Amino acid sequence: MTTISKVRYSRRSILKSGAAAVGAATLPAPMVWGQETKNITLRQFGTGVSNLNDVAQKVKEDLGFTLEMTALDSDSVTQRAATQPDSFDIADIEYWICKKVWPTGNLQAMDTSRILNYDKIVGIFRTGKLNPTSSIAQGTAPHTVGFVEGPGSTTFVDEESGWMTLIPTIYNADTLGIRPDLIDRPISNWSELLNPEFAGKASILDISSIGIMDMAMVCESMGEITYADKGNMTREEIDKTIGIFTEAKRNGQFRAFWKTFDESVNLMASGEVVIQSMWSPAITAVKSRGIPCLYQPLEEGYRSWGGGIGLSKNLSGMELDAAYDYINWYLAGWVGGYLMRQGYYSAVPETSKAFMTQNEWGYWFEGKEATDVITSPTGDTLAQAGEVRDGGSFEERMGAVACWNAVMDENQYMVRKWNEFVAA
């Protein structure tokens, strides 16, 4: 059995390991590179959420090397990580993508002893628990794919082994977005997405791995299906879930499906859709146009996701050192502050605090009333004084996660069924 991932030539890796061998013999300490780091370029790709040009600029300022960013959608990211390992140095991927991609051997595990803030990383990514008492949510919880046996291993382990697959960078808890001005009653359950009251005004995202989870939240909330694990459904569960949604689709429940961030913003802002699965910054984008939009906390809890940085297995020597520098810099707070001011969470919130005002920290992290206007890193007004974040504090939101984005054992079957749903 030949896999695509094996069909590639490795001139680049040969050159690199050669250079690394020479380098290691003469100059052992990573910090000595100094001058030469300026010539290093690391190619990072990932989904649009964290591939920000501001980050690349700041990296150039603080660390000296060049970071090239490529933003793609989740499907393309998976495809690229799995099939084109020579096209990137750093993969900014989600944990469920990691579960899919890691077995190809295209990424290398990271030595946690080289990660300065490792001990401060939120428990979710290490033990799976936010607090020692909290329970672990369904789906591909990050800690289950966060560690491998050792360097070069493709087997995940449950405990903190010292070899991390991805360094968590960004995560959040997702729920449904609604237009409170067009829905004049409280919404408190996932099942409202299929409420005939919103026929022709609902939407769901057309990314199978995430969409199926939203569907599961809805079906469970309707009382139609009880899942053993929403993140790992059986074929019968998949059939039933997709069946319910196909029927709703044929009855004209959905106005449109969306695949990209911008589409979701436009659907909501134009009033084509009043209730839909949505991502936090999309809500922000709608609000910044002066249109009321709410990220509605729901009784059943959140569907959560997390992303992290993984290193290409082709990285070695100077580039590898630069990549570790980059990771340490990433966790040192500036990026965290930047991301948290958009409504995401950073892996090491306490370092981010230094890069946020008291007001911002209170609003975004502690769920307190804003004492002053809250603005995004790019200067848009996101909230006025006196407003409170939808869903409340970090503990309230991340503590109410019902499931994580996941990839299931029956993924291929699910994908085919999803394709049928879209075509139905």
Query: For residues 170 and 269, which CB has a smaller minimum distance to other proteins in the complex?
Result: 269
Contact between 101 and 107 (Cβ < 8 Å): yes
Q: How far is the CB of 4 from other proteins (least distance, A)?
A: 5
- Residues 409 and 358: their CA atoms lie apart, in Å, by 45
Query: For residues 57 and 270, which CB has a smaller minimum distance to other proteins in the complex?
Result: 270
Query: For residues 230 and 417, which CB has a smaller minimum distance to other proteins in the complex?
Result: 417
- Residues 338 and 60: their CA atoms lie apart, in Å, by 16
| Binding characters for other proteins, 2-31, by CB under 8 A (x = yes) | xxxx--------------------------
Among 208, 288, 316, 346, binds other proteins (CB under 8 A): 208
Q: How far is the CB of 84 from other proteins (least distance, A)?
A: 11
Q: How far is the CB of 3 from other proteins (least distance, A)?
A: 3
The answer to whether residue 262 forms part of the interface with other proteins (CB under 8 A) is no
Q: With the C-alpha atoms ordered 396, 139, 335, 387, is the resulting torsion angle positive or negative? A: negative
What number of other Cβ atoms are within 10 A of residue 330's Cβ? 26
The answer to whether residue 135 forms part of the interface with other proteins (CB under 8 A) is no
Query: For residues 58 and 416, which CB has a smaller minimum distance to other proteins in the complex?
Result: 416
- Residues 400 and 134: their CA atoms lie apart, in Å, by 10
- Residues 185-204 interacting with other proteins (rule: CB under 8 A): 200, 203
What number of other Cβ atoms are within 10 A of residue 43's Cβ? 16
Query: For residues 106 and 191, which CB has a smaller minimum distance to other proteins in the complex?
Result: 106
The answer to whether residue 82 forms part of the interface with other proteins (CB under 8 A) is yes
Interface with other proteins by CB under 8 A: which range of 74-82, 277-285, 331-339, 391-399?
Answer: 74-82
Contact between 399 and 130 (Cβ < 8 Å): yes
Residue 233 C-beta-side C-alpha neighbours within 13 Å: 29
The answer to whether residue 255 forms part of the interface with other proteins (CB under 8 A) is yes
Q: How many positions of this chain bind other proteins (CB under 8 A)?
A: 39
The answer to whether residue 232 forms part of the interface with other proteins (CB under 8 A) is no
Q: How far is the CB of 200 from other proteins (least distance, A)?
A: 6
Q: How far is the CB of 253 from other proteins (least distance, A)?
A: 10
**Nearest CA-CA partner of 280 in 167, 368, 398:** 398
How far is the CA of 315 from the CAs of 33, 301, 385, in angstroms? 16, 39, 47
Among 18, 152, 196, 271, binds other proteins (CB under 8 A): 271
Q: How far is the CB of 270 from other proteins (least distance, A)?
A: 5
Classify strands 302-312 and 90-94 as parallel, antiparallel or unpaired.
antiparallel
Q: How far is the CB of 151 from other proteins (least distance, A)?
A: 22
Among 104, 195, 357, 393, binds other proteins (CB under 8 A): 104
Residue numbers at the binding site for other proteins (CB under 8 A): 1-5, 75-76, 78-79, 82-83, 100-101, 104, 200, 203, 206, 208, 249, 254-259, 266-267, 270-272, 411-412, 415-416, 419-420, 422-424
